[in-house]
Structure 1
Amino acid sequence: MATIKDVAREAGVSIATVSRVINNSPKAGKASITSVHSAMKKLGYRPNANARALVSKNSSTIGVLVSDISDPFFGSLIKAVDQVARVNNKHLLIGNGYHDANTEREAIELLINSCRESLIIHAKALSAEELIGFAKEVPGFVLINRYIPEIADRCIAFDNFKGAYMATEFLINNGHKHIAYINSNHKIDDASERKAGYLQALKDHNLPCPAQYSISADSNDEGGKAAMIELLSKNIPISAVLTYNDFMAAGVLSALEENNIAVPAQISLVGFDNGLISRYVHPKLTTINYPVEIMARQATQLSLKLAKKEKYTPETRIFSPTLVKRLSVSKNYSD
């Protein structure tokens, strides 16, 4: 039996377009209507009552797209969205994008089918042009952790460059000159912006930044551990390490412990995000605070206001990082 996905594939359009045609939406173009009806006839597809109601019935839902729901960072984001949603008698539908353009696109289209008014989207792989197109289609479409100038009024973002710069400068001010950076291997803005902040801080303080001090890996504890082992194998002087996130820092701690290298006595360490794990590793991790819960609540409030066509100006559109000082950094006198 043919499905709505089969129809979309046969017609060469998105699932959202098929839904618009089925529901007689005025946004459906003539060419789309013709191709969808032709595909439905060819495949013998007959939309049922549920399919016809996909777009029209669910103004009581908010769609949320994250990269990976199993990541505690995105768990915090979802919980914050849900807190605002419940106050407004809304329910959540959640999709995973996995930093993959096709997966993000399909997830957004499916969410549009069920949540035609409000979407909170964390999408890193899709082009700005596609996201702008989705924003035109959904009145409450809001991007979180990404800034696109053309839809700046739909964006709640974070200054990743400043966060990495701040962390690197903190290490420099503590006497460190040989600072390694372990980055995420995802090809996303966060990774490039954080690396740029690290490099700029070194440059501004007239410190060398050889390529061998920067390495990319999976953005989890195993990736951090493997990257630290690789750095140690290079036999280069390292007095401090900055990581893309706190989970990578936890992996770095594991690698250093296994090699009898004390933190912070021999190597200082700074993470990023201020996740729950940063408070419970040993030593407790100095890190950069990423206010994801505040950002998510504000994004949800913005989405709901936009969906109702009500004027609303968020208190902050681009959030700034703050340094959280704990026990993983010490003064360095040997560099």
Structure 2
Amino acid sequence: MATIKDVSDFAGVSQATVSRVINGTSSVSQEKKHKVEHAIKVLGYKPNSIAQALASSRTGSIGVIVPELGGAFYSQVLQSIEERLRQSGYHLVVTAGSNHEQGQKESVEFLLSRRVDALILHTQQLSDDYLIGLQEQGIDIVLVNRFIPELASSCIDIDNELGGKLATEHLIEMGHRNIACITGPLHKSDARGRLQGYRKALEEAGIAFDESLIIESGFTEETGASAMRKLLKRPHPFTAVFACNDHMAFGAFEVLHHAGFTVPEQISLVGFDDILFARYLTPALTTVNFPIENMSYEAVQLAIQKLQKSKHDVNFKLSPTLVTRESVHRLPQTL
């Protein structure tokens, strides 16, 4: 196996020069750089990753925090990020920070103790001030599915309001006017955005907003089921439901089924995220596509751009799209 001395002898330069080329720690003339790179290629030299990390203060790893490791949504997020990082020569170090602020702070501290080069954070629990403080300390961070004005150049967000509007507009176009909405936790910006899109679609269609048709839930199957039970007990009829993520839509569907309602003939249902299982529900779920792969690609590109101090085009705000399937029924027009 070739050594750094073999490379220096082959290239006719000092070992220190070879080290500077490999680690990029200081400038080297283009002529010497080309000689070293040619020698590395010919000899098949593989730098010692540990020594390289010590010399460059880089470990070639990027830390990622998500609220949980289970569930289809976060597994898709992690898979997409890992694929992009690997293609770019970086390794993924992941931890689940739970849905609590303290747990996510502990995850940040754990990753920083492992000397990751940057952080990609999918978190709604950490405060704006805490995240701003991380960046002010010189830590390279990228936030996904979240926007903080002071960190605008570090945020990859999706237009949640547009997604909520697309879902509700589709139901309105299919003749529905009494549309219930199961929201996510409204302390989370993505849940607020989707509810705002729902309200905007109603307003533009001239449909009065009815607070009794809104249930705040928790982005899980269990809370979606609980929300649907509450809606069915209220004396306010509805012909359609917009569940602000697919997991809640699955829970709502199960309750409707056991209560004797057919989807979509009696109650239409729309979700949000377009996770894999949405297409296998019977009937297949109409939903809003969360552009996970695009978001992951942009987040990785932005993290690498920060590390390499380079400039590339980054799409900081992604647009969701409606995916129509079989869970929405067109109501007959009334005169």
TM-score bin, normalised by smaller chain: 0.7 to 0.9
Report the equivalent of 1:122: 122
Report the equivalent of 1:204: 204
1:236 aligned onto 2:239: no
The letter of the residue matching 1:331 is: R
Report the equivalent of 1:214: 214
Separation in 1, partners of 2:320, 2:333: 29
Separation in 2, partners of 1:119, 1:161: 26
Report the equivalent of 2:144: 144
The letter of the residue matching 1:163 is: G
Report the equivalent of 1:33: none
Separation in 1, partners of 2:248, 2:135: 34
Separation in 1, partners of 2:255, 2:206: 30
Post-superposition offset of 1:71 = 2.4
Separation in 1, partners of 2:257, 2:234: 18
Report the equivalent of 1:260: 260
Flag structure 1 segments of 5+ consecutive residues without an equivalent.
Answer: 1-52
Separation in 2, partners of 1:305, 1:139: 13
SS at match of 1:95: strand
Report the equivalent of 1:112: 112
SS at match of 1:208: coil
Post-superposition Cα deviations, 1:62-94, rounded to whole Å, max 9, x if no partner, equal 100111111221111111111122123322111
SS at match of 2:298: helix
The letter of the residue matching 2:329 is: S
Separation in 1, partners of 2:138, 2:202: 43
SS at match of 1:200: helix
Post-superposition offset of 1:334 = 7.0
Q: Is the 8 A contact 1:63 1:115 kept in 2?
A: no
Post-superposition Cα deviations, 1:161-181, rounded to whole Å, max 9, x if no partner, equal 110011111111111010000
1:59 aligned onto 2:55: no
Report the equivalent of 1:317: 316
How is 1:34-73 mapped onto 2 (pairs within 5 angstroms)?
59-73=59-73
Post-superposition Cα deviations, 1:5-33, rounded to whole Å, max 9, x if no partner, equal xxxxxxxxxxxxxxxxxxxxxxxxxxxxx
Separation in 2, partners of 1:284, 1:88: 36
Aligned residues: 282
SS at match of 1:323: strand
Separation in 2, partners of 1:240, 1:115: 50
Report the equivalent of 2:83: 83
Taking structure 1 as reference, are residues 132 and 143 closer, same or farther at Cα in structure 2, changes over 3 Å only? same
The letter of the residue matching 2:262 is: A
Post-superposition offset of 1:157 = 0.5
SS at match of 1:305: helix
Post-superposition offset of 1:115 = 3.6
Separation in 2, partners of 1:303, 1:115: 15
Report the equivalent of 1:13: none
How is 1:183-194 mapped onto 2 (pairs within 5 angstroms)?
183-185=183-185, 187-194=187-194
Taking structure 1 as reference, are residues 136 and 59 closer, same or farther at Cα in structure 2, changes over 3 Å only? farther
Report the equivalent of 2:273: 273
C-alpha root-mean-square deviation of aligned residues, in Å? 2.0
Post-superposition offset of 1:138 = 4.4
TM-score of the superposition, structure 1-length normalised? Answer: 0.79
